[in-house]
A and B are shown apart, each in its own frame.
Chain A
Amino acid sequence: MDAAVVSNFAAGNPDAVRQVYETFGRLVFAVANRILGNRSLAEEATQQTFVQAWRAAETFDAGRELGPWLATIARRVAIDIHRREARRPTTPIDDASPDDSALITLPPSAEQIYHVWQVREAVDALPNDEREIVRLQHLDHLTHAEIADRLSLPLGTVKSRSYRAHKSLALRLGHLREGLHPGNDPPRTPSSGPGD
């Protein structure tokens, strides 16, 4: 992102704030939603993330990428909100759904969060027609034939769009493999040096 935009963001310029939000807002929300599993709380976390980033923007090194920095803030904010919510008395645990985020005791690691960020970024970069096919295939678990039927498209068109979309995803996310080697500890966050 342009250094001038970051500088204007730090000054609270509304156009710059909007530009930063439009570039990273959905990614921040995806990270928060992954941790919290609740749209309303994820929106609260997204808002807090941008406010905290604005407060700290003067200390941001313009030579670095803004995205990973925002992802780090988003993870921390979402975990704090998760802890806050976990302390509130709610429904008995037997009534909670097995995938209730409150039952997840360990928050995703920084690496897992950045993975979510990058997958979302790659998916958002797809053309709409390709993104819709990927969503139907993986989220709704539809076959190519079912997708063709749902979208009223020829089967060949669905297959070719699916191939293009997945090729694009595979290429964009190839660099993720470095953090996923089996048996390797994930890399620590940049601020976590050995010793202390």
Chain B
Amino acid sequence: MADESTNENRNDRRVAYLTGDSVDAPLDPFDQAELDAMLATLSTESSWADPSPDLGDRIVAEISGLAGNASASQGRMQPRPRGRSHRRGSRSGWIGPALLGAAAAGMIVFAVTRADRVEAPEAAVDATIQLEGTELAPGLTGSAEIDRRESGLWIRLALPGLPRRDDGEFYEAWLRSEDGNGLVPIGTFHEADDVILWAGVAIEDFPILTVTRESVAGPKDPSQGSSGEVVAKGRFTP
């Protein structure tokens, strides 16, 4: 009964604070912080604005159209080609512009040689990790092809659709041990349509591959480590 009365008094004080009436006893700091945040939100124009009345129609039309198109092309949830067929697709996407640029500069032979050096022979790929976007990048799917080489692990990462990050912001890829105690940075990049990474550890010991959002930081800044903002994740299975 006493608790009920205390709660009632507390609620009355909270309401009085919100309405601007005098409060007979001080609010506790947590209540006050909460109510101040609410008042700040209520006094902001953007908190009250409504979208245009036709926005719902536009969204329904766009999604219905996309769903119709996807359905016409045998379903949007059909997995996209992975593994070798995907690599062939990305190879043509990579080599095409490379050849074009090299031809303009009269360096066709060099370009082909370079492309062959970057591209691993298809038979050399040891394993492929399937990657999925987290809540920070829902719907994202991709893959990481892995080849064990003398220098270390050669990793070809493909996460098409990941929005580009620039101006001191970038992505970073990591390999993590199963128990979470070991974390190895394996490269940074702006976007991940086709990225080559290297790692000096064994994939069996660090089987979890993650991609995080990062920003430039000073050499001794604690944020030199992972931001924890994982956008995609996958696991190597032997």
Min Cβ gap A73→B in Å is 6
- Contact call B18/A169, Cβ cutoff below 8 A: yes
Instruction: Determine the chain B residues whose CB is within 8 A of the CB of A87 once the complex forms.
Output: 166-167
**Shortest Cβ distance from B58 into A: residue:** A47
Which A155-196 residues sit within 8 Å CB-CB of chain B? 162-163, 166-167, 169-171, 173-174, 176-177, 180-182, 188-196
Which A11-69 residues sit within 8 Å CB-CB of chain B? 11-14, 17-18, 21-22, 25-26, 29-30, 33-34, 37, 39, 42-43, 46-47, 50-56, 58-60, 69
- Contact call B59/A177, Cβ cutoff below 8 A: no
- Contact call A138/B132, Cβ cutoff below 8 A: no
Once the chains are docked, how many angstroms separate the CA of A158 from the CA of B97? 69
Instruction: Determine the chain A residues whose CB is within 8 A of the CB of B66 once the complex forms.
Output: 12, 51, 54
Question: Known contacts A123-B42, A139-B45, A193-B228: does B30 contact A47 (CB below 8 Å)?
Answer: no
Once the chains are docked, how many angstroms separate the CA of A73 from the CA of B134? 11
- Contact call B212/A59, Cβ cutoff below 8 A: no
Which of B31-39, B82-90, B114-122 is found at the contact surface with chain A?
A: B31-39
Q: With contacts defined as CB atoms under 8 Å apart, how many contacts are there between chain A and chain B in the complex?
A: 186
Q: Which of A138, A167, A177 is within 8 Å of B11, CB to CB?
A: A167
1/0 per residue B48-69: CB within 8 Å of A?
1111100110111011101110
Which of B98-106, B135-143, B150-158, B190-198 is found at the contact surface with chain A?
A: B135-143
- Contact call B49/A138, Cβ cutoff below 8 A: no
1/0 per residue B211-228: CB within 8 Å of A?
010000000000000111
- A80 CB-CB contact with B under 8 Å: yes
- A102 CB-CB contact with B under 8 Å: no
Question: Known contacts A12-B64, A12-B66, A12-B67: does B176 contact A196 (CB below 8 Å)?
Answer: yes
Question: Known contacts A52-B138, A138-B39, A169-B38: does B60 contact A14 (CB below 8 Å)?
Answer: yes
1/0 per residue A133-150: CB within 8 Å of B?
011011101000000000
Instruction: Determine the chain B residues whose CB is within 8 A of the CB of A60 once the complex forms.
Output: 138
Q: Which of A83, A141, A196 is within 8 Å of B174, CB to CB?
A: A196
- A7 CB-CB contact with B under 8 Å: no
1/0 per residue B138-181: CB within 8 Å of A?
11000000000000000000000001001100000010100010
Instruction: Determine the chain B residues whose CB is within 8 A of the CB of A196 once the complex forms.
Output: 174, 176, 183, 210, 212, 226, 228, 230
Which B1-41 residues sit within 8 Å CB-CB of chain A? 11, 14-15, 18-20, 29-31, 33-35, 37-39, 41
The binding surface of chain A is classed by DSSP as helix
Q: Which of A33, A167, A169, A180 is within 8 Å of B49, CB to CB?
A: A33
Min Cβ gap B222→A in Å is 13
Question: What 6 A-B pairs come out closest when comparing CB atoms?
Answer: A12-B67, A56-B139, A56-B138, A138-B42, A191-B134, A196-B226
15 contacts between A and B (CB under 8 A): A11-B67, A17-B64, A21-B60, A33-B46, A43-B55, A50-B59, A72-B136, A120-B41, A138-B42, A139-B48, A167-B11, A169-B38, A177-B30, A180-B34, A192-B227
